[in-house]
Every structure is written in C-alpha cells, then in structure tokens.
C-alpha cells in the first residue's frame, strides 16, 4: 500500500460538480474485517466483495486508478450495518455510494427513474389511485413491468391512496394553530401517497400532548431513493429545497422537524451533510425521528393518558434506525404503553432496502436476506409486527400473513 504522503500526489478521479465524492474515513480502517461479517449482501451473494473490500480497501485502489473500479459495488444496499459494527468509525456505506457516483456505477434507465422519483410517481398515481392500484396488482401488468422495466413481477407493488396526507391535512391545518407549541412534520412520500394513516396517527398523538403540527409549504422527497439510484444532483436539489423550508418553519416557531420514516430521518440528519454536502449543522439536532421526540417529551412528564392495550407485538428494528442509534427510543416508547406485551426480534435486515428489492436482478438476493427475519416472524405469536420503516413493512406483509404497524399507530391506539 502507498504511504499517505504519496497518495496526495495522485490525481483523484473526476468529481461531479460541487459534490465532494470522496470520504476520507477510509484512512481509519484497521483491517479487522468486522464489517464484512455483518454485511447481509455479502452473506447472500458471494460475488459481492463485501464492505471492507468494496469500501476502504477498494477506495485506496480507485483513487489511484479509476480503472480498478469494481462493478459489483452496485449490489450494496446502503443498509449501513457495516458502519454500526466498525470499531474505527469508517463511513463504509458512504464511501461505497460516493464511489458508485464517481465512477458511473449506477444504472439509470426508466426503471430507476420511476422507482426513485417517489414524489413524482406519487403525484401521478394518487390522482388516479383506484385505477393504478387495480392495474398494478394485475398479473399481465406486472409481467409487462417485469419484461419492459425489470421490476420483478413477484413483488407486491405499493398501493396508492386517493386522498394524499397533504390533502387531508389541509382540512385540519387550522386546528393545529391553537397549540402554543408546534413542530414541523416531514411526512415523506410514503405517508403522503401510500399510507396517510401514520401521519394522521402522528397528529393525534402530538395533539394529545398539546403540540400542534405544521407542514412546510413545499416538501420534496428526502432523497433516499435518489441517492440509492445515483441521482445525486436531483437529491441535492431536493435537499436544498427541504433545508430552506425547514429553516423557514423553525424560524416561524416550530421546535423541531419530525419524520416518521426512519430512512427519511437518517437522510435529513446524516446523509445531507455526509453524502450530499448539504450543511444542516445549524439545526441538525432539531431534525428528529418521531420516537426520539416523543420519548423525550414523555421523559419530561409530557405524556398522554393511555389505556391498556392488551396486545402481543414483536418489534423489527430497521437498519437505518439502528444506524441512527434510534432503536432504543422506539423500544422505550412502546414500553410506555400499558398492557402491551413486547418482544424484540433479532436485528436482521429485511432485504427489501427501498427500491433495491424491486429490481428483477436483486429479487433473489433480497429474498435470501429476508429469510432469517421471515423465519423468526413466521414462528412468532404476535397480534402485530411493529416497525418504523415502510420498506420493512412491505417486505413483511408481502411474505407473511402478519399485519405490520408503525409504533406511532400503536401509541395512537392507546390514547383515551
């Protein structure tokens, strides 16, 4: 290996304008290979080099010569399990995503466009939701999508809602101004276009502890599917818009920006600066996943009255929430519900990873990764599976008979 001094004299590979596409934490690597022991993709497919080689090891070579870029990097799901295990704080997932962007490692066809532009697809689909839902559930259509776009026909495609969350909220917004304390809710694409119930539950829970909810005037997809498909410029544009909106709403008296999707929250808080070079330091601490915000309120005594929920639930922790250090907040939140019998499932990856598992070439990997989680869930006697992530929810509901709820929905169910 070249000493660092020499590396300085080597011209780095070309970078996309404005974005820094190298993450220098590869220098911290102590070569313990712990990351590779935790990578679900490396476990499922031997042709993926694993985080150590795809991340810090490979980066040293790629910087030297772009010709050494390994096409297999496309298999990384950016689940970030490797980063959680690394004792040396190497941002392995970020290094891999940046390398993909630097070396044109992303395939960007119509399928990638459709899967990643979730807000655009949501707008188009929700206006004709009843039709879209029927059509996308039809076998011949799924076959067509499979053949023409490479969206695997074995996947259940997300259902769209006719009335978006924003539309519903519009009718209730006035009501929210009566509260002294307010937060801004970043609803994200999934709550807006697919499952508005989570957003409505969030409003109910926050109102129950005397906090009003606001939306920003405009909201764009956080960017997680865009980053995953290499549309970094578009992701950055979204990030800039969202940040401006957040700044405005915090200025106007909101205490925090809250997200009910673990992946959106991680992106807004961590990926904006790390991946997209968008500086959110002025209010990074105010961007929070919902259970973190709620448990802090509960801990300070601002707790709603709750009736016993005599239910058995099993909790599945999403990868990105693990990475954010947020699992403890959701678990503690659920422990506040009287009567609830809670078990924690092992921390296995669901394998769907947003848009990843929808792609035909990833279907088998995705299902293989899911197996450990699914085996455990199938033998679990629970009324509901609980998880914070929409992707995990889709995966569990497609593969088991269990119904999956968001933790905030559980709290809403306990409200008196």
Partner 1 sequence: MRYDSIIIGGGLAGLTSAIRCAEAGLKTAVISFGESSLTFASGAIDILGYHSDGSVVQSPFPAVAKLAESNPNHPYSKVGVDTLKQGLHRFCHHLDVAGVPMASQSEDNHWRTTALGSLRPAWLYQPGMMPLPIKQPAKGIQRIAIVNIAGFRDFQPSLAVAGLKQHPAFQQARITSKTITARELGLETRNPFELRSIELARALNHADNFQRLTNALGGAAGSSDLLIIPAVLEDSLGRSRIPELSQKIGCQIMEVASLPPSLPGLRIANALKRQFNKLGGMLIEGDLVEKGNFDNGRLVSIETHYNKDLPLYANHFVLASGSFFSKGLLSKQNRIIEPTFDLDVEAPSDRSLWASGKFLDSKAHHFIEYGVSCNQQLQPTRQGLPIENMYCVGSVLAGFNPVAEGSAGGVSIATGFHAAEQIIAAYQACAGN
**Residue ranges in contact with ligand SF4 by CB under 6 A:** 29-35, 39, 41, 51-52, 54-56, 76-82, 85-86, 88, 90, 92-93, 96
- Kindly identify the residues of this chain, within the stretch 89-108, that bind partner 1 according to CB under 8 A: 89
Nearer to partner 1, 20 or 89 (CB): 89
Cα end-to-end span (Å), the chain: 64
Indicate which of partner 1, ligand SF4, none lies near residue 344 (CB less than 5 to 8 Å, by partner kind).
Answer: partner 1
**CA geometry: angle at 122 spanning 116 and 127, to 5°?**
155
H helices present in 269-326, as ranges: 272-276, 290-299, 319-323
User: How far from 180 is each of 120, 142, 211, 356, CA to CA, in Å?
Assistant: 34, 49, 7, 42
Cα 294 to Cα 298: distance, rounded to the nearest angstrom:
6
Q: Which of 142, 323, 359, 406 binds partner 1 (CB under 8 A)?
A: 323
Nearer to ligand SF4, 84 or 241 (CB): 84
Proportion of the chain in helix, strand, coil states, percent, rounded to 5: 55, 10, 35
DSSP, res 258:
E
Indicate which of ligand SF4, partner 1, none lies near residue 215 (CB less than 5 to 8 Å, by partner kind).
Answer: none
Nearer to ligand SF4, 73 or 311 (CB): 73
Question: Does residue number 328 form part of the binding site for partner 1 (CB under 8 A)?
Answer: yes
Nearer to partner 1, 77 or 286 (CB): 286
How far apart are CB 365 and ligand SF4 at their closest, in Å? 10
Q: Considering only the stretches 41-49, 107-115, 146-154, 191-199, report the one whose residues sit in contact with partner 1 under the rule CB under 8 A.
A: 41-49
How far apart are CB 133 and ligand SF4 at their closest, in Å? 31
User: How far from 353 is each of 240, 265, 365, CA to CA, in Å?
Assistant: 24, 15, 11
Q: Among residues 183, 203, 313, 195, which one has the least CA distance to residue 258?
A: 183
- Do 396 and 371 form a contact (C-beta atoms < 8 A)? no
- Give the E-state strand segments of 338-406 in sequence order: 341-344, 384-386, 404-405
* Residue the block writes with tokens 């801990």: 299
Q: Which of 40, 49, 230, 407 binds partner 1 (CB under 8 A)?
A: 49
Indicate which of partner 1, ligand SF4, none lies near residue 322 (CB less than 5 to 8 Å, by partner kind).
Answer: partner 1
Q: Report how many residues bind partner 1 under the rule CB under 8 A.
A: 39
User: What's the gap between Cα 186 and its chain centre?
Assistant: 13
- Do 350 and 391 form a contact (C-beta atoms < 8 A)? yes
For residues 181 to 220, the per-residue mask of contacts with partner 1, x marking binding by CB under 8 A and - elsewhere, is: ----------------------------------------
Q: Considering only the stretches 29-37, 230-238, 357-365, 400-408, report the one whose residues sit in contact with partner 1 under the rule CB under 8 A.
A: 29-37
Judged by the rule CB under 8 A, the positions of this chain that interact with partner 1 are 32-34, 36-37, 42-43, 46-47, 49-50, 52-53, 72, 83-89, 285, 292, 295-296, 299, 322-329, 331-332, 344, 346-347
């Amino acid at each position: 290996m070249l000493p660092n001094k020499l590396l300085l004299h080597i011209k780095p590979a070309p970078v996309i304008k404005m974005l820094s596409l190298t993450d220098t934490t590869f220098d911290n690597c102590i070569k313990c290979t712990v990351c590779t022991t935790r990578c679900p993709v490396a476990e499922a497919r031997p042709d993926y080099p694993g985080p150590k080689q795809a991340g810090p090891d490979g980066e040293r070579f790629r910087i030297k010569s772009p010709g050494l870029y390994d096409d297999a990097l496309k298999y990384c799901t950016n689940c970030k399990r490797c980063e959680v295990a690394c004792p040396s704080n190497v941002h392995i997932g970020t290094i891999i995503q940046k390398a993909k962007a630097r070396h044109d490692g992303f395939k960007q066809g119509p399928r990638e466009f459709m899967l990643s532009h979730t807000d655009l697809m949501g707008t188009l689909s929700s206006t004709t939701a009843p039709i879209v839902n029927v059509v996308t559930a039809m076998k011949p259509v799924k076959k067509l999508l499979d053949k023409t776009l490479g969206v695997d026909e074995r996947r259940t495609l997300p259902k769209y809602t006719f009335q978006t969350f924003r539309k519903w909220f519009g009718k209730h917004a006035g009501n929210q101004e009566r509260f002294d304390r307010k937060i801004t809710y970043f609803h994200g694409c999934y709550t807006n276009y697919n499952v508005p119930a989570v957003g409505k539950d969030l409003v109910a829970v926050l109102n129950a502890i005397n906090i009003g909810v606001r939306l920003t005037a405009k909201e764009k997809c956080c960017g997680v599917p865009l980053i995953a498909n290499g549309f970094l410029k578009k992701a950055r544009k979204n990030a800039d818009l969202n940040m401006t909106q957040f700044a405005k709403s915090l200025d106007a008296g909101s205490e925090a920006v809250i997200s009910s999707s673990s992946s959106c929250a991680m992106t807004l808080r961590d990926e904006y600066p790390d991946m997209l070079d968008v500086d959110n330091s002025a209010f990074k601490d105010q961007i929070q996943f919902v259970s973190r915000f709620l448990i802090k309120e509960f801990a300070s005594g601002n707790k709603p009255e709750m009736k016993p929920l005599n239910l058995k639930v099993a909790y599945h922790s999403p990868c990105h929430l693990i990475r954010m250090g947020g699992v403890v907040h959701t678990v503690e939140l659920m422990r506040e519900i009287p009567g609830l019998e809670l078990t924690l499932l092992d921390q296995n990856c669901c394998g769907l990873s947003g848009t990843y598992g929808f792609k035909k070439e990833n279907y088998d990997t995705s299902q293989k990764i899911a197996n450990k989680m699914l085996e455990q869930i199938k033998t679990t006697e629970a009324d509901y599976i609980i998880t914070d992530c929409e992707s995990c929810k889709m995966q569990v509901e497609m593969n088991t008979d269990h119904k999956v709820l968001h933790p905030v929905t559980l709290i809403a169910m306990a409200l008196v």
